[in-house]
Structure 1
Amino acid sequence: MSRKIFGTDGVRGKANTYPMTAEMAMRLGAAAGRYFRRDGSSAHRVVIGKDTRLSGYMFENALTAGFTSTGMNVFLLSPVPTPAVGMLTTSMRADVGVMISASHNPHHDNGIKFFGPDGFKLSDEAEQAIEELAMGDIDPAQPANIGRAKHVYDGRFRYNERVKSTVPAGMRLDGLKVVIDCANGAAYRTAPEVLWELGADVVPIGTSPDGYNINAECGSTDTRAAARAVVEHGADVALCLDGDADRIMVLDETGRVADGDQLMALLAARWGATGQLKGGALVATVMSNLGLERFLEGRDLRLERTSVGDRYVVERMRAGGFNLGGEQSGHIVMTDYSTTGDGLLAGLQFLTAMVETGYKASTLVRQFEPVPQLLKNVRFDQTAAPLDEAAVKAAIAQAEGDLVGKGRLLIRKSGTEPLIRVMAECEDEGLLTQVVDGIVAEVQAVASA
């Protein structure tokens, strides 16, 4: 059976539209409860976190109903970052963790991400098993074995202490003025608290969620507000998180942006120099810039590439014994400290580099010169299959031929949105634009037909 509702990062879609309905959330909760409940005892636990979307209340209650119906005891964390759910799943000895979030998507979308008892996201096989259970008849618990639910009010404080413990002992951020953009999302209290406790002069923005403004003109996907704040406040650096705080973009004192590739280059070089980089390699996806690969090779380090999605990065890291990986989009995974991407943790690593080297952010955000890269997205009707059309296939074949020995091309369907992503890299920027625009035009033509 092929998976129908799980994508590259759990289940995601428009709230109150299949598959992101209250009914499906309840069925997924019951299915996951049945999958993880090993026996008939009452000692089984699930922790549930969420971001600040209005629909989070609905899905939180629906999941709770599903889990308790199969005998799972539910611990509700309220708004916390996604990495906090991974951490608390293990620290609270839970059987499963759930994060209700659509990450960087607009407020009208939502999603459900599952974590296993080890704090890592579930494998494809586990997700397929849960999906199959959800689509069938789920055995409920006997009346005497129905689960309970309770709120855990100190979850974010436990996470705060864990994140602070990753910086060198005794290190403080005194003298650093830091803009922190929380995207009106899950870290709107956590991130400013952590930075302030470490001694930074904090300029918080994107910290007034209303259920609708998550990721709206703020956060890692829209850094303009942070760029203005850096200049207006004379700040040293800006850290921009997304709605569930598992990714980050860093801005220097002038407002220039460093993406995930630049941050990974910085960390890989620092860790490689001190022997902390396990396996002498960084794990990143096929989207990462060729310039990053060349940067690592110049330091006798390797780039291990995976499919797009932080879960695939983590799977390769675990299989190969690597401890640093991530995505160009700002997911930075450090398995010495966390089981998934953690924007705040990565931001603290950048601030640590500033403190220890004495360099300005503008020096640290530009580790390598990227090869010109162009990425364009084409939205399409989910019932269509643009990449199967002959005209699109022909355009892709032509582009691949034009780029032989000059660059590379990557075409893929998004696993989280109805988008075709067209990306190319080439030193010849004229050719780069030509091949991307040619493919985009053909995809748009068939998508709108």
Structure 2
Amino acid sequence: MGRLFGTDGVRGVANADLTAEMALGLSVAAAHVLAEAGTFKGHRPVAVVGRDPRASGEFLEAAVVAGLASAGVDVLRVGVLPTPAVAYLTGALGADLGVMLSASHNPMPDNGVKFFARGGHKLADELEDRIERTYREHASGEPWDRPTGAGVGRVREYDEGFDKYVAHLVGVLPNRLDGLRVVIDGAHGAAARVSPEAFARAGAEVITIATEPDGLNINDGCGSTHLAGLRAAVVEHGADLGVAHDGDADRCLAVDAAGEEIDGDQILSVLALGMKDAGTLRGNTVVATVMSNLGFKLAMEREGVELLQTAVGDRYVLEEMKRGGYSLGGEQSGHVIALDHATTGDGTLTGLMLAARVAATGRPLAELAGVMRRLPQVLVNVRDVDKTRVSSSARLATAVNEAEKELGETGRVLLRSSGTEPLVRVMVEAAEEEQACAVAQRLADEVKSALG
């Protein structure tokens, strides 16, 4: 039986893999485990619960709220807000626990449950493992110890969460965005209201696309995984830049005035140099993952910024940032963590900081992002394979070794199982795109053959 918790909570097809019963049980288990860990310290615990606009989020939210209240936890329902908003409010309100219902960039039928500890930080692996063990024990029939009478949790709406979060975002910016025209692609997701409001309050002229969620259209041909609409809108409206979020808005990709994509590595480059100039890049270091483009590493070396690389996953970036006391880190996918202002990746904050750098320097985004040159990088997702065997297959190890010899020092290969989806990712980087494509496809075929 595989581990329920992936790199970003518990995910699956809603009402199939992730049922109301599971959401309720996990919530009760989380309350009991955190109580046993001393998180509640003898006081009546409080949880912040939010969700993205997926239709399944409605019944899953009801299940989570019921589970927490039945375990004696008071619940503040903040409604549809981004994942980083739930993390922020968990800390700002002094809550003991935060719960977000979202499957991020995954398609609409999926959903997920993500827990935050006191302060708005992701739970440690050890706590997730204990929650999963406790959940499984009670799912098999062991009864819960349940409070009664005045001991049950109370539930209330917390409508102030939207304004409190937006005010926080605008308040941490180093300068205003007056004079900028920005297109925002909300992915019909959790940032559909938040991001346009934050940019407008910061002084930008805002044009929106994909900001009308109906519960079914989240990530559907829009957002950070589908940039064509944003590219076209930026060019059509003569905007200075465009910002695209994913479904729960913990990530951000951008588009320059010509409609060219600015990925997470380039965003990190711009922000790192801006923070270095301002003296806020602690340790003169930026933290990224092994998926970062080689061009990013070369740019940071040239600019005198140290780069530390971790395993793939924003949680590993965050762990390294906390360990070393660093202020900036992120992933190529657009998860960017500004630890002075957020406890997790925040797509709206990232977009605002990027726009603020454009406004402060008066330089086009394309020029700022030009500090790094992206080397050709090809990513192939191989589905319908046993991803658990990717690291133990001798056949794949041999194939990777041969590919690395072929590429030499001008490229690299990375094979890994996805932490959020049932697939294996094959990444190849090379000096020439044609070579990268050929090697990546050859390795993808090998993965399909070896693990299919």
Asked whether the two chains share a fold, i.e. TM above 0.5, the reply is: yes
Tell whether the 8 Å contact from 1:277 to 1:323 is kept in structure 2 after alignment.
Answer: yes
Question: Where does residue 421 of structure 1 map in the other structure?
Answer: 425
Residue 279 in structure 1 maps to residue 278 in structure 2: no
Describe the shift of the 1:161–1:233 C-alpha distance in structure 2 as closer, same or farther (beyond 3 A). same
Question: Where does residue 6 of structure 2 map in the other structure?
Answer: 7
How much identity, in percent, do the aligned residues show?
44
Deviation string 1:212-244 (CA, Å, 9 cap, x unpaired) is: 110111111111111111112121111111111
Q: Secondary structure at the match of 2:114?
A: strand
Deviation larger for 88-97 or 361-370: 361-370
Distance 1:32 1:376 in 2: 36
Matches within 5 A, 1:16-27: 16-18=15-17, 20-27=18-25
Distance 1:428 1:251 in 2: 24
Report how far residue 299 of structure 1 moved: 1.9
Distance 2:428 2:359 in 1: 36
Residue 161 in structure 1 maps to residue 170 in structure 2: no
Distance 2:393 2:384 in 1: 13
Matches within 5 A, 1:299-314: 299-314=303-318
Report how far residue 389 of structure 1 moved: 4.8
Aligned-pair RMSD on alpha carbons? Answer: 1.8
Which of 114, 136, 145 lines up with 1:140 in the alignment?
A: 145
Question: Where does residue 69 of structure 1 map in the other structure?
Answer: 70
Report how far residue 331 of structure 1 moved: 0.5
Residue 202 in structure 1 maps to residue 197 in structure 2: no
Deviation string 1:111-154 (CA, Å, 9 cap, x unpaired) is: 11111102111111111111111111363332121111111111
Question: Where does residue 111 of structure 1 map in the other structure?
Answer: 112
Question: Where does residue 125 of structure 2 map in the other structure?
Answer: 124
Q: Which residue type is aligned with residue 140 of structure 1?
A: D
Tell whether the 8 Å contact from 1:3 to 1:131 is kept in structure 2 after alignment.
Answer: no
Question: Where does residue 36 of structure 1 map in the other structure?
Answer: 34
Report how far residue 447 of structure 1 moved: 4.9
Tell whether the 8 Å contact from 2:269 to 2:369 is kept in structure 1 after alignment.
Answer: no
Residue 328 in structure 1 maps to residue 329 in structure 2: no
Question: Where does residue 87 of structure 1 map in the other structure?
Answer: 88
Distance 2:22 2:361 in 1: 51
Distance 2:387 2:72 in 1: 38
Report how far residue 404 of structure 1 moved: 3.5
Describe the shift of the 1:77–1:268 C-alpha distance in structure 2 as closer, same or farther (beyond 3 A). same
Tell whether the 8 Å contact from 2:244 to 2:252 is kept in structure 1 after alignment.
Answer: yes
Tell whether the 8 Å contact from 1:98 to 1:112 is kept in structure 2 after alignment.
Answer: yes
Tell whether the 8 Å contact from 1:252 to 1:365 is kept in structure 2 after alignment.
Answer: no
Q: Secondary structure at the match of 1:368?
A: coil
Distance 1:332 1:414 in 2: 19
Tell whether the 8 Å contact from 1:96 to 1:117 is kept in structure 2 after alignment.
Answer: yes
Residue 150 in structure 1 maps to residue 156 in structure 2: yes
Question: Where does residue 78 of structure 1 map in the other structure?
Answer: 79
Deviation larger for 31-40 or 178-187: 31-40
Residue 255 in structure 1 maps to residue 255 in structure 2: no
Q: Secondary structure at the match of 2:409?
A: coil
Q: Secondary structure at the match of 2:308?
A: strand
Describe the shift of the 1:406–1:252 C-alpha distance in structure 2 as closer, same or farther (beyond 3 A). closer
Q: How many residues of Structure 1 are paired with residues of Structure 2 in the alignment? A: 444
Q: Which residue type is aligned with residue 46 of structure 2?
A: R
Q: Secondary structure at the match of 1:7?
A: coil
Deviation string 1:25-77 (CA, Å, 9 cap, x unpaired) is: 11100011112234695620110110010000111011111111211111111
Describe the shift of the 1:383–1:179 C-alpha distance in structure 2 as closer, same or farther (beyond 3 A). closer
Describe the shift of the 1:255–1:430 C-alpha distance in structure 2 as closer, same or farther (beyond 3 A). closer
Describe the shift of the 1:173–1:301 C-alpha distance in structure 2 as closer, same or farther (beyond 3 A). closer
Describe the shift of the 1:154–1:87 C-alpha distance in structure 2 as closer, same or farther (beyond 3 A). same
Tell whether the 8 Å contact from 2:385 to 2:448 is kept in structure 1 after alignment.
Answer: no
Deviation string 1:68-92 (CA, Å, 9 cap, x unpaired) is: 1211111111000111111111111
Describe the shift of the 1:319–1:142 C-alpha distance in structure 2 as closer, same or farther (beyond 3 A). same
Distance 1:406 1:335 in 2: 33
Distance 2:4 2:101 in 1: 15
TM-score by length of 2: 0.94
Distance 1:121 1:247 in 2: 16
Question: Where does residue 384 of structure 2 map in the other structure?
Answer: 380
Distance 1:383 1:403 in 2: 25
Report how far residue 384 of structure 1 moved: 7.3
Report how far residue 254 of structure 1 moved: 1.2
Describe the shift of the 1:149–1:391 C-alpha distance in structure 2 as closer, same or farther (beyond 3 A). same
Distance 1:45 1:241 in 2: 29
Distance 1:382 1:97 in 2: 33
Q: Unaligned 5+ residue runs, structure 2?
A: none
Tell whether the 8 Å contact from 1:387 to 1:443 is kept in structure 2 after alignment.
Answer: no
TM-score by length of 1: 0.95
Distance 1:172 1:298 in 2: 30
Deviation larger for 204-213 or 140-149: 140-149
Distance 1:435 1:279 in 2: 37
Report how far residue 274 of structure 1 moved: 2.7
Describe the shift of the 1:444–1:383 C-alpha distance in structure 2 as closer, same or farther (beyond 3 A). closer
